[in-house]
Structure 1
Amino acid sequence: MLETNLENLIRPANAATADVLRDQVVPLIDAFRLRQTALGVIPDPTDSDRELLTRIRDQVVAVFGDIGRDVQAQAFADDIADWLDRGLDEKPYFDRSRDAFSRVGDGEAALFVGVTRATNSTTPSGVRLELFFIQRHQSRLLAEVESTYPHDHDVHMDVILLAGSEGFTLGNCLVFFPESVAAHRPIERQSYAVFFFSKFFDIHRTIAAANAGLLLDDPNRFSSSARLDEYLCFQVRSLWGYLHDRAHFSGPWSMADNAVLKMHWFIGVIEEIKVDVKLLLMAREGDVPYFDELFSMILLERVFRYPLEPHPERNFDAGTGIFLFSYLQDRGALEIRGGVIGIDQGGAVEALRALVVDIEALERDSLTPDEYRWNATQMVRRYLVESTVAGDKYALTDEQRILRRHVEHFDAVPPLDFSRTPSA
């Protein structure tokens, strides 16, 4: 496999468009999003707010035109017109922009502008006006795995982030889904899923691996994923993303027919763990490469990074990591000794194999959506205890708090900045 880096993959025309967006459009959007609340509205909007949004509309429509996206240009202009007519102190709806966005081919660029949630980004959080401009990249490694393990419902794009507003360029947002967009109508089926894996190299090394190094009894035990170079890290993370999504479309409650049901918080927790374990078992027992790197990557991200997110009691990804931590501890594959964490990889794999068996039995025994929701909630509640705080999905136990022992250290570090294109 030829060694390369992400910067060398960027097409000149896409780099030129990224420069235009960064110079002329992104500053306007970053100024506007600060005027919004977490619900996307602007209380007591002024003429200046309306004028700024109109400038943004004109600039964005021009760029869409330049890159041949006339349908998106019209959709965005109509969404803005509708919001201006109703008033910026009313909730924004960007159904047209959401539905006009689509997947592109390898090496091609895509632009999204609309009010959306940038999950796990830096503050201010919530749904706000955001922009991202990306180039899709499918690595040779992933293409080989796809040929062996085809995915009939594949809608994902692994991308290089070329330009974006602060919600996407500052902090840890790695995903964009249509259900994240502020809209009147919920989606019936996902038609795309965007993964900003050009950001992953820095996030994984400086947060996940760093926190694991502070908490594990052997800091080097699960460091193989953090030792990958930038491009190989992108490729292995792409394997995780592809096989993870493929596993969602298996079992009696396949994502193909139950996308909305899978968004239920407690179903989602066991679903995310299940599909990660299924891909690990496939890698261990089949011909998917980089099992050790995949195992350490998933373990470090879920257990040692996600729980560091602000207010983990309300953060879905944090919930999956804390569930996994406590499950492994309950099964004897993880121990806390002398204030540090020890994990037995072999024991963890076998424990997780048993967990998949239990989850899939739960799915088969759940004959209705209500039964599925109830059974999933009961399983999750074994490890994520109910909170007395309104809005919290669970309460952290004293043992679970070890994962956040060094959170003040990470909070004191400025969020990672991805406002420029990747470099070697």
Structure 2
Amino acid sequence: MTQLTHDRVATDAEIVAQIDEIRADLGPRSEFRDPAFLGRLARRLEASSPLGGVPIVQAFVEDLRRFGDEGRMTRTKAIVNDPDSGVILGLFDASYFPSLSLDFMSYRTLPTDPGLAEGYPSPTMPVVSKSRSEGFIARPVVALFPENHIDGTQESDDLIFYFIDKLVDRHLGTTKLLIEEIMDPDAVPLVRAASVDELNVAASWWVRMHEFHHRQGDMPLPEFLFAKRSKALAGLEELRCDVSGMMACRSDARLAADEAALASEFILVERLLRYPVEGATRPNYDAVASQVLFTFLLEDGGIEIRDGRIYLTQDFYGVLRRYLDEVAAIESLIHDHPVEAVQAELRGFAHRYVDYDEAARDYRHMPYFSAVKERLGI
């Protein structure tokens, strides 16, 4: 690795300032994998004192110079994947995180419950940001996945970062309002009373459960990521993981009971209440997932709407189990049918429960949540 010598190592604030200055005139995203562009970026970083003394910058510069031959960000990811480094740096290209380009973050990790880590292992890193460049500030960027780097790859040991402070901010800013305005006043008592520190724990449990369940079932990720890229199928996958996480938190006696109970409520309100109001003009895939959940629960007797509020019925968790069973039955077809046939079955299942605009070939917000969005100004 090329050793870059400078007088001192920059502080996090100085790194952020330098990265923000460079990213401001970085150039078009279409050039992000062009060797000439990457060479210019490497030289600019190398010349930017005191960035060159930062180990992850050194690794990043070396990867940029070798990208034309190797097509990988191996050295950079080795540091990103080391939890003790406490830093993330990369050149990112993800359509669902358009604010990300050249970006840096420093973070602190959150403690992990040993029983959760042992029973539901995954390369998930729940963190709280310390310093971050402009791209990471954007509201939609609540996570970072290995394939978001320009090499577009994900290895089994690559860390998946979730920015818990942003998830909790969303909860406090939007979900809490929805709980008060449209939920049964007696429902989810634990999440209503939770402190910020307790919400941090609950959100950490959520993302660990979520990533673990992505890797379970007949069509796990990342193996079947290629087959689940559409809004409908991505939404079903997100919902499958969250419902599985809720059910595990309620039923697994190995888990710390208080934390698991709070996590189950937290997942429920985020998935059932907040995601349906996300997306300014058209629902995103998470909102589509929550449309499926809401309609499935309503039609199958898991929830009732009374005076504009959502009430959970006694059969709520039984209905969730039936949802998981139906999706699992469809995905099990992958062993005997081509992937296109299973995709069609999953899409047909999803479209039974969503508001799909055939003319626009996209989804609409459901009337119930459209009215909520308008009334509450979300």
Q: TM-score, normalised by structure 1?
A: 0.72
Equivalent of residue 157 in structure 1, options 125, 146, 157? 125
Matched, 1:144 2:115: yes
1:144-293 aligned within 5 A: 144-147=115-118, 149-151=119-121, 154-182=122-150, 191-218=158-185, 221-222=187-188, 224-255=190-221, 257-287=223-253, 288=255, 289=257, 290-293=259-262
Offset at residue 19 of structure 1 (A): 1.8
Whether 2:277 is the aligned partner of 1:308: answer yes
Give how far 1:204 is off.
1.0
Q: Structure 1 residue 223: deviation in Å? A: 5.2
Distance in 1 between residues matched to 2:355 and 2:129, nearest whole Å: 38
2:25 alignment counterpart: 32
Is the contact between residue 156 and residue 192 of structure 1 (CA under 8 Å) also seen in structure 2? yes
Report which structure shows greater RCO (CA 8 Å, sep ≥6): 1
What RMSD, in angstroms, separates the aligned Cα atoms of the two structures? Answer: 3.5
CA shift in 2, pair 1:165/1:309, >3 Å: farther
Shift of 1:356: 0.6
Q: 1:257 to 1:401 in 2, by over 3 A?
A: same
* Cα distance in 1 between the residues matched to 2:340 and 2:12: 47
Question: Residue by residue, what CA displacement relative to the aligned partner does 1:58-98 show, whole Å, maximum 9, x if unpaired?
Answer: 4679536423553322124566xx7xxxxxxxxxxx95448
Distance 1:390 1:130 in 2: 34
SS in 2 for 1:159: strand
* 1:138 shift after superposition: 4.5
Return 5+ residue gaps in structure 1 as ranges: 1-14, 43-48, 83-93, 411-424
Cα deviation for residue 309 of structure 1 reads 2.5
* Aligned residues of 2:142 and 2:164 also touching (Cα < 8 A): yes
Q: Could you tell me how far 1:54 is from its partner in structure 2?
A: 7.5
The TM-score normalised by the length of structure 2 is 0.80
Match of 1:57 in 2: 45
Residue 34 of structure 2: aligned partner = none
Hey, what's the Cα distance between the residues in 1 that align with 2:15 and 2:84? 19
Output the CA distance in 2 between the equivalents of 1:263 and 1:274. 15
Query: Paired residue for 1:332?
Result: 301
Residue 163 of structure 1: how far off its partner (Å): 2.1
Once the two structures are overlaid, the 10-residue window that deviates more, 108-117 or 379-388, is: 108-117
Deviations 1:219-251 (CA, angstroms, capped at 9, x unpaired): x63353253333332222111111221122222
8 Å Cα contact 2:62-2:75 kept in structure 1: no
The structure-2 alpha-carbon separation of the partners of 1:22 and 1:254, relative to structure 1 and needing over 3 Å to count, comes to closer
Could you say what secondary structure the match of 1:335 adopts?
strand
Aligned residue among 68, 93, 105 for 1:116: 93
In the alignment, the residues of structure 2 paired with residue 391 and residue 58 of structure 1 have an alpha-carbon distance, to the nearest angstrom, of 47
Q: 2:361 and 2:157 mapped to 1: Cα distance?
A: 27
Which 5+ residue runs of structure 2 have no aligned equivalent?
Answer: 1-8, 32-36
Residue type matched to 1:301 in 2? E
State the one-letter code of the partner of 2:129: L
Residues 55 and 304 of structure 1, relative CA distance in 2, 3 Å threshold: farther
Contact 1:326 1:400 in 2 (8 A): no
Specify the code of the residue in structure 2 equivalent to 1:134: S
Q: In 2 relative to 1, CA 356–131 (structure 1 residues): closer, same or farther, beyond 3 Å?
A: same
The Cα shift of 1:135 comes to 2.9
Q: Distance in 2 between matches of 1:95 and 1:293?
A: 43
Report if aligned partners of 1:112, 1:133 keep a CA contact under 8 Å in 2. Answer: yes
CA–CA separation in structure 2 for the residues paired with 1:381 and 1:360: 17
Distance in 1 separating the partners of 2:222 and 2:150 = 23
Match of 1:132 in 2: 104
Does the residue aligned with 1:399 lie in a helix, a strand or coil? helix
1:101 to 56, 77, 86: 77
Partner of 1:5 in structure 2? Answer: none
Residues 1:348 and 2:316 are matched in the alignment: yes
Q: CA deviation at 1:403?
A: 4.3
The answer as to 2:312 corresponding to 1:318 is: no
Any idea what the Cα deviations from partners look like across 1:97-149, whole Å, max 9, x if unmatched? 48842454444312223133384x7xxxx3652413133524142x33212x0
Change in Cα spacing, 1:227 to 1:24, as seen in structure 2 (3 Å) is farther
The 2-side partners of 1:330 and 1:268 are apart by 22
How many residues align? The count is 358
Q: Pick closer, same or farther for the CA change 1:55–1:405 going to 2, 3 Å.
A: farther
**Per-residue deviation, residues 337-367 of structure 1 (Å, max 9, x unmatched):** 33x2222164321110111111111111343
